[in-house]
Amino acid sequence: MSTGNIETKVENLLKNIIEDLGYELYDVLYVKEGKDFYLRVVIDKPAGIDINDCEKVNNAINDVLDEADYIKEQYFLEVSSPRFRKKFKKK
């Protein structure tokens, strides 16, 4: 299954759940970095997103993703805001 297909299926699965919690599903990205796979669910709301919002959505979607079993590889789930997408640099 291509990553684009996984992203579309995950987006369709999670959109209503995330919207029912009061957030916008901004993007879904399934990427491989090094040897690890990441499923990144990007959420937003007008007032902005904080870590508590990310945790709330993570808790709501984790079991749903496991049940759907779209991704056969082991992966890391990350829920974030489009504003968190900047790369952090070490000083």
The pLDDT tens digits of the residues spanning 41-82 come to: 999 999 999 999 999 999 999 999 999 999 999 999 999 998
Domain-located, residue 88: no
Domain-located, residue 18: yes
The Cβ of residue 66 has, within 10 Å, a number of other Cβ atoms equal to 11
Task: Tell me the residue type at 84.
Answer: F
Asked if residue 22 has pLDDT above 60, the reply is: yes
- Using the Cα atoms of residue 73, residue 60, residue 67 and residue 3 in order, give the sign of their dihedral: negative
Domain-located, residue 46: yes
Which tokens hold the place of 59?
A: 């808790």
In the block, residue with structure tokens 């297909």 = 5
Higher pLDDT pick, 18 / 88 = 18
Asked if residue 86 has pLDDT above 70, the reply is: no
Domain-located, residue 28: yes
CATH of the domain at 56: 3.30.300.70
Give the pairing of strands 24-33 and 36-44: antiparallel
Please tell me the predicted confidence (pLDDT) of residue 66: 96
Closest C-alpha to 41, from 75, 69, 67 = 75
Domain-located, residue 76: yes
Domain-located, residue 91: no
Share of the chain above pLDDT 70, in %: 90
Containing structural domain, residue 24 = 3-83
Tally the domains of the chain. 1
Please tell me the predicted confidence (pLDDT) of residue 1: 63
Average pLDDT for the chain: 91
Read off the pTM.
0.87
